[in-house]
Amino acid sequence: MPTLPPLREELTLHPGPRGDGGFPTWTLHDPAAGRFFRLGWPEFEILSRWELDSAQAIADAIDRETTLRVTPAEVDALHDHLQRNHLLRPQTEGDRQRFLELQKRARPQLAKWLLHHYLFLRIPLWHPDPFLQRLLPGIPWLFTRGFAWVVLTLTVLGLGLVIRQWEAFQATFLHFFDPLGMVAWGGALLTGKMLHELGHALTARHFGCRVPSMGVALLVMWPVFYTETSEAWKLASRRERLAVGGAGMAAELILAGLAACLWSFLEDGPMRGAAFLLASSTWIVTLTVNLNPLMRFDGYFLLADALDLPNLQERAFAMGRWKLREWLFGWGHPPPEPAPAGRAAFLIAFAWVVWCYRFFLFAGIALLVYHFFFKLLGLFLFLVEIGWFILRPVGREIMAWHRLRAGLRWNRNLVITLSSGMALLVWSLTPARFPGVVAPAVLQAGAHTVIHAPTAALVTRFPVRTGQEVTLGESLIEFDDPELRYRMESVTRTITLLRWELEALGVDAPEPGKNRERAPAVVEQELTTALAEQRFVAGELEKLRVSAPFAGTVVERAEGIAPGDRVAAGEAMLTLIDPQTPLIKGYVAGRDLAGVTPGMTAIFHPNDPAAAPLPGRVLRKDPAPIRLLPDPELDARHGGGVPVRGEHMEKQRVEGSFHRVDLTPDAPIPVGQVTRGVMTFPSSPERPLIRLWNTLLEIFHREGGF
C-alpha cells in the first residue's frame, strides 16, 4: 500500500472533553477554514502514527502498543475523511489538481451564495480580540462568585421594590408613546443586545479562545448582532463551553436585574422607561429566541454541549433519515452511529421535531418575503424558498430511496408502505363528498338604492321619514343651488338679447359705405351655444328634485338634515328599498363555481344566531369574476369574507377570483336592513386530487395578477 500523505502543517490538536465511558477525546482545528473535528481514542492513535508507511503498518503498531484493535479499513476510512475535508497536504501534481478542483467545488457559486445569504448575511464590523485582551486584566471580578452574589442580591432587591410599586411599574409603559420614549426604547434595546454579544466575547476570551470578529447579521432582512466564538470548540471543559454559550443570556439577565433595582430610584421619564424595558421585556424575548434549540442559536449549542453531542443536528438528521427508511422499507441497514437506545431515540425525535419546525418556519418565511417585496420579486423568492428549502430536501431523500432500490427485499414494512401508497392513490382518484360550498353573502331587497346629493346644494324640502312608504315618482328631496339659478337667469337674458339682435340684423339695412358690426352667422352661433347651455343648466336644475325611482320604503335617512342646510356633493341622504322583492347576493370562489348551477337549492345563514336559515334557489351566476366589491358589508377587513385591497370604494379591488351568485328565497319575506351572512350549497362528488389541483390553480390565479 502506498505511503499516506502527510497532514497539513497548520492543523492543531487540542485535548477534548471525556467521551462516553470516560474515554479521552481530542479536537482537531483547521484554522484556515475555521472548522473543528472531534476525534476519539482510535482516531488519535491513528494520527499519532500517521508518518508510518501504510494503513497496515499503522494498524499493526496500534495493536502492539495499545489495548485497541484497529483494522486497516478503519485507517483507510479516516484517510478518506481527511481527504474529503482537505486536511491532507497534496503530494503530486495530480493531488494538487484534485485539491484545487475540490476547492473550486466547495466554493459556492454566486447564485447559490445569494440563495443562502439573502436570508442570513453576516457583516463583520470589528475585530475585538486586541481590545478584549487589554480589557480582561481589569475585570477579573466579573467571573467571581462574589460578583454573582452581589448581582443576585440586587436583583432580588429590585424585584421586591417593583412588586411594592407594581401599578407604577405597569404605568411606565405609557412613556414609550412620546418621541423621547421611543429614543429611550431604542437605546435600551441596543444596549441589551450589545451587552449580550460582549458577554459571549469576554467569556470566550477569558477561557483563552480567540474572538476574530463581531458585527451585524441580516436575518430575513432584520439586523441582529453576532459574535464569532467558534473557537470555544477547543475547550476541553464542558462547563467552560456551556459558560461561553450562556454568557450572552446571563449578561442580559444581569442587566435586567440591575435595571429592576435602578427603576425604583429614577424619576418618571425616558430613563425610567428604558430601565422598565430592560427589566421587563428584552430579556424575555432574548430567552424565547436564544433558548430555542431547534435553530442554531445559543440554545442549540447549549443543548449540544450539555449532552456532549457535537454536530448534534447533522447526527440527528442522519439518524432520523435512517429510521424513516427502515420504517418505510425495512432495508436492514445499520444505524449511522452506534448509540444506546435512549440516545438513539432522542436523536430521532430531535430530527423529526426540527424537520416539522423548519417546514412551518420556511413556509412562514416564504410568505413573509412574498409580502415584503414587490409582487414579481416576492413571487420568485417565495417559489425559491419553497423549492430550495422544503421541496429540495424531500426530493433528495426520494432520490436516495431510488439509489437504494437494489437492496429492497419483500418485508412487512415494504408491504405496509406500498399498500398505504396505493390506498392513498385510489382514495385521491375516487369521487367523494366534501363539505358544501360556503360563500359570503348578504340578504337585501332586490330593488335597493341609495339617494345621494347630486351636487353641493341647499336642502329646500326633505319631507320623508325613516319607515315611510313612497310611490313611484313621489318627491323625496328638493334642493336649490343659487349658482345654478343665477346661471339660468344669466343665460336666459343672453338668449333674449341675441334673438333681438338677430331680428334687428334682419330688418335694418346697413348705411352706404359701412359693414355690419356683427354678421348674422356669428350671432346665430352664439345663440346656439347659449341654448345648449340653457338645456344643460335646466337638466342640472331638474336633478335638484329627486323622485322615487320605484315604490318602496325609506329604511335610512340622513340624521340632522333639515330645510336650509347645505350638503356636499355625493352625500348620502336616504336609502330606499322594495321590501317585497328580497334577494340574496353572494360571492363564490372560482374553484367552487363549477359546483353551483342555476336552479339548485341553497341556504342563507344570517350571522345573527337567533335568525332562522333561509332556503332559496340559484337565480343566476356570473361566469366572469368581479373586480370591485359593490357590497362593503362583505369586506374581509370589516368582518366579511371577501379579501379586498384599497381604501376608497372606487379602488377596492377584490383579491382573487370571486363570482357573483344570486339566490331567490323560496318564501317571500319582507326585507329591512342589509343582513350579512353566508350561503351554503350542497356538495357534489369530487375527486380529491382534482379538488387539490383546482385549489392550486385558484391560488395561482389569485396571486398571479400583477
Q: Where in the chain is the domain with CATH 2.40.30.170?
A: 437-444+581-699
Q: Tens of pLDDT along 290-309?
A: 888 988 888 898 898 888 88
pLDDT at 520: 81
More confident site: 645 or 199 = 199
- pTM exceeding 0.75: no
Residue 321: pLDDT band by 50, 70, 90 thresholds? very high
CA–CA distance, 125 with 12 (Å, rounded to integer): 28
pLDDT at 109: 54
CA distances from 292 to 80, 192, 195, 220, 299 (A): 35, 19, 20, 17, 5
What residues pair up with 614 in beta bridges, in sequence order?
Answer: 604
Choose from 187-196, 425-434, 518-527, 658-667 the range with maximum mean pLDDT.
658-667
pLDDT over 80 at 628, yes or no: yes
pLDDT at 81: 83
pLDDT at 353: 95
pLDDT at 319: 94
Average of per-residue pLDDT across 27-37: 77
DSSP per position, 609-637: TTSPPEEEEEEEE-SSPPSB-S-GGGBGG
pLDDT at 52: 85
Parallel, antiparallel, or unpaired: how do β-strands 469-470 and 552-557 relate? antiparallel
Tell the burial category of 630 from Cβ atoms under 10 Å away from its Cβ (0-12, 13-18, 19+). exposed
Average of per-residue pLDDT across 677-686: 82
Single out the residue of 627, 631, 640, 608 nearest to residue 705, CA to CA.
627
pLDDT at 1: 45
Residue 350: pLDDT band by 50, 70, 90 thresholds? very high
pLDDT at 508: 53
Choose from 469-483, 512-526, 682-696 the range with maximum mean pLDDT.
469-483
With a CB cutoff of 8 Å and minimum separation 6, the contacts of 266 are 272, 275
pLDDT over 50 at 577, yes or no: yes
More confident site: 325 or 311 = 325
With a CB cutoff of 8 Å and minimum separation 6, the contacts of 686 are 431, 432, 433, 434, 595
Q: Tens of pLDDT along 431-485?
A: 877 667 889 998 887 777 888 888 888 899 888 888 888 888 888 899 998 888 8
The architecture that CATH gives domain 437-444+581-699 is: Beta Barrel (2.40)
CATH topology for 448-510+517-572 is: OB fold (Dihydrolipoamide Acetyltransferase, E2P) (2.40.50)
CA–CA distance, 233 with 27 (Å, rounded to integer): 7
| Mean pLDDT over the full length of the chain | 82
Single out the residue of 351, 333, 338 nearest to residue 401, CA to CA.
333
pLDDT at 94: 61
Residue 143: pLDDT band by 50, 70, 90 thresholds? confident
Average of per-residue pLDDT across 19-41: 78
Q: Tens of pLDDT along 70-95?
A: 898 888 888 888 887 778 887 666 65
Q: Where in the chain is the domain with CATH 2.40.50.100?
A: 448-510+517-572
Per the listing, cell 362593503 goes with 632
261 sits in which H/E element: helix 238-263
- Could you tell me what percent of the chain has a pLDDT over 70? 86
Q: Tens of pLDDT along 352-411?
A: 999 999 899 888 888 777 777 667 777 777 887 788 888 889 999 999 998 888 888 888
